[in-house]
């Protein structure tokens, strides 16, 4: 039993990953250890958001759901003391986020007054899937469920300890009671 615990600790330290075990004995990786950069190129320390819920949303500037930026901003303003919203630009669905990071940032600020956190543009599925989306969509990593990102403005909600709570599809408005009742 001691060798299993020591092996787990060594593995955890070696791979810089926090491992926890749930009642089903599956391993879960902490999202707080996954690196990602902001839209301005600065490293985002997800661990800085411990104690707040996190809503991660893949975004696009030329999508039918782009107007959800306004409600994401409203949600950010209304719940900023207990919720961090992270917008993640992605160009994988219909090429609807073709702009540069500067263009995306300007579009979001000018058209929707976005002040919530935005990241670099990433892939949310496929061979080059960003590790955050690998975590969000893989039960072995998030400890809850497998899912796939099917379109722009899919939303993933995490609790105050970085645990996966739920996935909300593109049709679920950010101000929907399905989301706000979780806050």
Could you tell me the residue ranges of all domains in the chain? 31-180
pLDDT, residue 81, reads 97
pLDDT, residue 29, reads 82
Q: Which pTM does this prediction carry?
A: 0.85
| Pairing of the two strands 36-37 and 83-89 | unpaired
- Which of 89, 55, 92 is closest to 74 using CA atoms? 55
pLDDT, residue 27, reads 59
- Which of 99, 148, 135 is closest to 120 using CA atoms? 99
Catalytic residue among 54, 57, 63, 132: 63
Q: Is 63 a catalytic residue?
A: yes
* pLDDT tens by residue, 111-141: 999 999 999 999 999 999 999 999 999 999 9
The class (CATH top level) of 31-180 is alpha beta
pLDDT, residue 135, reads 97
Q: Which residues of the chain have pLDDT under 70?
A: 1-27
């Amino acid at each position: 039993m001691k060798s299993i615990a020591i092996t787990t600790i060594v593995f955890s330290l070696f791979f810089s990953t926090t491992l926890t075990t749930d009642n089903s004995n599956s391993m879960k990786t902490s999202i707080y250890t996954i690196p990602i950069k902001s839209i301005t190129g600065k490293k985002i320390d997800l661990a800085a958001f411990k104690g707040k819920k996190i809503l991660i949303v893949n975004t696009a500037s030329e999508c039918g759901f782009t107007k959800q930026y306004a409600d994401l901003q409203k949600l950010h303003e209304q719940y900023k003391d207990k919720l961090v919203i992270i917008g993640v630009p992605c160009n994988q669905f219909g090429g609807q986020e073709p702009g540069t990071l500067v263009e995306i940032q300007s579009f979001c600020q000018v058209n929707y007054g976005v002040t919530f956190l935005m990241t670099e543009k990433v892939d949310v599925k496929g061979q080059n899937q960003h590790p955050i989306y690998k975590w969000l969509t893989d039960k072995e990593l998030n400890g809850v469920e497998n899912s796939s990102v099917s379109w722009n403005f899919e939303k993933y909600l995490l609790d105050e300890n970085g645990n996966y709570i739920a996935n909300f599809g593109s049709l679920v408005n950010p101000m929907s009671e399905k989301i706000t009742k979780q806050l």
